[in-house]
Amino acid sequence: MPELPEVETVRRGLAPVMEGAVIARAEVNRPDLRWPFPDDMAARLEGQQVERLRRRSKYILADLSGGESLLIHLGMSGRMLISGHTVGDFFHDHPAPAKHDHVVLHMGNGARITFNDARRFGAMDLMNTVNETDHWLIRSLGPEPLGNAFDEDYLIQQLKGRNTPIKTALLDQRIVSGLGNIYVCEVLFRAGIHPARKAGRISAARVATLVPLIRQVLTEAIDAGGSSLRDFRQADGELGYFQHVFQVYDQEDQPCATPGCDKTIKRIVQSGRSSFFCPQCQR
């Protein structure tokens, strides 16, 4: 599933095309994806200007001129595809309709934004922008890891006394939003912390080091266009490249990247997810 860097990459690709443009026509080609679409979704979108495109956790939010925001969740295989508009160095003509084109937004500037989702684990919803924090997908989210509210003191306090593994704690969206399996594995490797270590037994000093490392890993991944695993593509159809510099994720039985370490990367399963780590460098 796309994590924060992939979602932010898609948002940045869509923003130059969508922000300031009017949704001239909306096609909603099925009643639901993971959950039912909101009532009269096409009618509520048509004629609305996209005033701002932003991200909250793993959701893209399009603030509309009528006071509602369109929430977009990519799910496992969802893709937001741009056609009929130049994005960077790329121009894609409008393609023929495809089987899994579930929502198509025809923008007043001539662009077409297509939400294609083969597995249908994605979602779209409309909500009152002013009351965004009351939405059931938003209200329990913790602070953004790249925002000012996420700092060393906050994370130390959140992890204090917790008996859950540090990997599980960092994946808890109520503690910090947007982190997923890939980037938590990479962060813990850089921090030298074993993913099964109990969160509450890690010293405050070591917990404090996680904050800049989380920001560093996420920023590097965003700059690389995210990680292309399985279905992820950027809005212009290009792949992300951060997967080429994974140090532990999906590197089972490969040599550890730490100079002087002669161990290989191991994998364990935690809460149904694979955790990758070096048994010597991470304690």
Active-site residue, selected from the candidate residues 11, 55, 56, 58:
58
Active-site residue, selected from the candidate residues 52, 206, 266, 273:
273
Q: Is 58 a catalytic residue?
A: yes
Q: Which amino acid is residue 175, in one-letter code?
A: I
Q: Is 2 a catalytic residue?
A: yes
Q: Is 198 a catalytic residue?
A: no
Closest CA to 15 of 55, 47, 43: 55
Active-site residue, selected from the candidate residues 3, 6, 68, 186:
3
Q: Which amino acid is residue 279, in one-letter code?
A: P
Active-site residue, selected from the candidate residues 2, 5, 143, 145:
2
Residues annotated as catalytic are 2-3, 58, 273
